[in-house]
Every structure is written in C-alpha cells, then in structure tokens.
C-alpha cells in the first residue's frame, strides 16, 4: 500500500471521538451501534462485572483474520486504531479496501477486558492478567476469547497490545514506537513454518514503517510461555502476530503511534488478501532489532550529591483521575545511568538537584519540579 494513501485515509477516517489514553466501554458502545448493517455485531459473553464483550464481523472472503484489543485494559492505542480501520471499511470506496473485504472475513473484539478498561488497569476485575490465563482459562474473558477462537477457526490472529515508554528499538537512542512478534511455538523457539508465515507479514509492515520511523521498530521478546494467548494460538498452528503500540517523541497520548498501528493493520490485511503467504519471505524479520529496556521518561544528568555525581531517572506513573489519565512524575533511580536514555534530558552540570523544600531527591519521590542552581525545572508532562 502507498504510504501517502495510508496517511490520507488515516486523516479522513480517524475516529475523532476516541482520543488520548482512557478508552472504556462507554466510549465504544455508541460507535458499535452506529455501524452499518454490513457489519455484524454479536455479544459473545460477559466480563467479571457483567459487561458485554462484543465481536464485530465484517467481510465475505474465505481468509479469516481474528484480532482482539484491550486484553490489558490500560492498553488502548490499538483500540483507537481498530475504530479508525472500521471507519475506512465502512466508508472507503478504494479497490484495495474492497479487496480486503471480498477476500477476508475479519472478526474483531475491540475490548476484551472492559472492566480493566474502565478502571484503567492491566488486569481484569479479579486482578488476573488475561494474557497469562490461556491454559487455565480461569476468567470469563479468557473463556470468551477461547470459545470464539475455536468456533471462528481463524487463518491468522492479531494480538493487539501497548507497551511502556521504557523500550528502545535495539541498543540505540531510538524508542520502539511499534513492536511486533511472531510468538514462539515451543520451548526451543524453533522457526517453524507457522512462525515464518507470521514473520512474513511482519516484514511487510516493517517495510512501510521504516520509510517513516526508521530504526523505531522493534521485535518483542520471544521467550515461550504457553500461558500467553499468542503462544497458545501459535502452537495451535495459526500464524499469530503480536502488535505493541509504543512511544513516539512527545506522544504520550499515543495519537502519533495510533497512525502507525492503523497503517500496519491495513498493510497486514492487504497482504493477506492479495498474497498466498508461504513463509518463504521471512528472513528480513531477523533484521529488526530486539527491544531493549533503555529509556526513562526523564533523566537529569550530572547531579551533585555528597557521594559524588549521579543521574536521576524519572518515570511517569499513569493515574486515572476523573476519567482522565494524569502522568505523575516519580523518581525511579538515582545512579550512574550511562547507556540509558531519557525521552527528555536535563543537564544539572554538577549542581545539586533539590525539591521545593531544598532537600535532595530520593527514590520514590513524587515531584512536579526540581531546583537546579536556584532555577526551577518543571517535570510536569504538559510542560515538556
């Protein structure tokens, strides 16, 4: 797909009622009701707290694609991109969109964990991580996912997630804005034909992204864990792709990353629709760097203390306050952080870094600003 066209479509079909990080069932329910009759909406079960879990079915083709978002309630970027895609499916007359819908039948669970989404938590209402429940199936949401998977019998699965700001694409000073994974199928992480087919899809998405965000695409850790949904489906010989929506410079609301997830999903579906995927074209997957945990939100360099000079790492803690996500700065580490990067960096130039009461910082401090050589430096996100 042509990048200029993908960007035009994003601007045209972006679902503008969904924005920032807090996306709950109340935001998406009206959108589901307004979908045209060409979309089939089914309630396939309920969450712990009795909220409906819905699936959207669209397309008439033989190739079946199954995707689900917000398995972790606080990972909403892919949900926004899903509704952008649905708008394109509903309104775009381009032959490429029509070919996707004529070649594929697509099933989407836009919000698997509505209770976690409402509370803005990773886990469900029973404090269980649904992505570690693929074998035990102890939770109603896990059972809903597995039951639909078995009845739908997909040819390809897309597992849609979001990742923290800590990840770099390899060891460079580049954030992992988007990460992918063809999950392992066994303990040895063997490159099976099934995984190669997933890798081939990732290669196509990476080609599109590298032209726009070079060196900002990573591969997630492929350690095998049969309790994870992606590993379970991969082991079941269904090519499964993990999508991780990550950080772009200054994009804490994840609105820029949303664009790249939109592009990636359409690229993947178009490739499936138009190609017989054999797994022969997977080698470039191994050119994508592995994710590393090399970033902090803020690093204050060269801070003087009685014990010497150290760096100060600050991370934003995401808090749900009156249905809005606030980013609260917390001191994470005070040590030599050579080899790590800050999304924002401040040089203390060997001066003491102090709180408002002129006391030195300590790990765990919640701090809105610091004083360096009597000058005030804000750590509040809106001022960065």
Q: Give the tens place of pLDDT for each residue, 239-248.
A: 999 999 999 9
pLDDT for residue 382: 76
Q: What is the CATH number that goes with domain 295-383?
A: 2.30.40.10
Per-residue pLDDT of the chain (384 residues; tens, 9 = 90+): 899 999 999 999 999 999 999 999 999 999 999 999 899 999 999 999 999 999 999 999 999 999 999 999 999 999 999 999 999 999 999 999 999 999 999 999 999 999 999 999 999 999 999 999 999 999 999 999 999 999 999 999 999 999 999 999 999 999 999 999 999 999 999 999 999 999 999 999 999 999 999 999 999 999 999 999 999 999 999 999 999 999 999 999 999 999 999 999 999 999 999 999 999 999 999 999 999 999 999 999 999 976 788 999 999 999 999 999 999 999 999 999 999 999 999 999 999 999 999 999 999 999 999 999 999 999 998 754
pLDDT for residue 384: 47
Q: Give the tens place of pLDDT for each residue, 151-165.
A: 999 999 999 999 999
Residues of the chain with CATH 2.30.40.10: 295-383
pLDDT for residue 23: 98
Reading phi first (left if > 0) and then psi (alpha if -120 to 50, else beta), residue 200 is in alpha
Q: What is the CATH number that goes with domain 3-293?
A: 3.40.630.10
pLDDT for residue 306: 65
Residues of the chain with CATH 3.40.630.10: 3-293
Task: Please report the beta strands in 174-282, taking only residues with DSSP state E, as ranges in sequence order.
Answer: 178-181, 217-219, 240-245
Q: What is the DSSP letter of 35?
A: S
Residue 28 structure tokens: 């998406």
Distances from the Cα of 29 to the Cα of 34, 114, 120, 324, angstroms: 9, 11, 17, 19
For residues 285 and 207, the answer to whether their CB atoms sit within 8 Å is no
What value, to the nearest 5°, has the Cα angle with vertex 151 and ends 73 and 146?
A: 35
**Cα(215)–Cα(173) distance, integer angstroms:** 9
Provide the 3-class DSSP secondary structure of residue 282. coil
Task: Name the residue with tokens 């819908």.
Answer: 101
């Amino acid at each position: 797909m042509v990048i200029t066209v993908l960007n035009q479509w994003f601007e045209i079909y972006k679902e503008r009622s969904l924005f920032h990080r807090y996306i709950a069932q109340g935001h998406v329910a009206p959108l589901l009701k307004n979908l045209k009759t060409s979309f089939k909406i089914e309630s396939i079960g309920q969450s712990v707290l009795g909220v409906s879990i819905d699936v959207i079915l669209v397309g008439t083709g033989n190739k079946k694609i199954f995707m689900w978002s917000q398995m972790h309630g606080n990972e909403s970027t892919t949900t926004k991109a899903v509704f952008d895609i649905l708008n394109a499916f509903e309104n775009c007359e381009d032959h490429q969109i029509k070919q996707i819908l004529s070649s594929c039948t697509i099933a989407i669970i836009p919000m698997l964990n509505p209770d976690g989404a409402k509370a803005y938590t990773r886990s469900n209402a029973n404090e269980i991580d649904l992505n570690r429940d693929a074998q035990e199936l102890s939770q109603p949401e896990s059972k809903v996912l597995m039951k639909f998977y078995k009845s739908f019998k997909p040819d390809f699965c897309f597992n849609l997630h979001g990742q923290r700001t800590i990840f770099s694409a390899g060891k460079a000073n580049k954030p992992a804005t988007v990460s992918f994974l063809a999950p392992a199928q066994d303990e040895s992480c063997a490159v099976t034909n099934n995984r190669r087919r997933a890798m081939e899809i990732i290669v196509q998405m990476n080609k599109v992204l590298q032209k726009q965000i070079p060196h900002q695409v990573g591969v997630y850790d492929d350690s095998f864990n049969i309790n994870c949904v992606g590993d379970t489906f991969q082991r079941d010989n269904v090519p499964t792709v993990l999508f991780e929506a990550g950080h772009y410079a200054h994009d804490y609301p994840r609105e820029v990353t949303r664009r790249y997830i939109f592009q990636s999903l359409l690229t993947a579906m178009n490739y499936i629709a138009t190609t017989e995927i054999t797994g022969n074209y997977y080698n470039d997957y191994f050119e994508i760097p592995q994710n590393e945990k090399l970033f902090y939100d803020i690093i204050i360099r060269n801070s003087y203390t009685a014990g010497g000079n150290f760096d100060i790492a600050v991370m934003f803690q995401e808090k749900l306050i009156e249905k809005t996500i606030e980013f609260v700065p917390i001191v994470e580490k005070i040590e030599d952080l050579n080899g790590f990067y800050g999304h924002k960096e401040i040089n203390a130039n060997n001066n003491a870094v102090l709180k408002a009461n002129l006391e030195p910082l300590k790990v765990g401090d919640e701090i809105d600003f610091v004083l360096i050589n009597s000058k005030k430096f804000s750590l509040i996100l809106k001022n960065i």
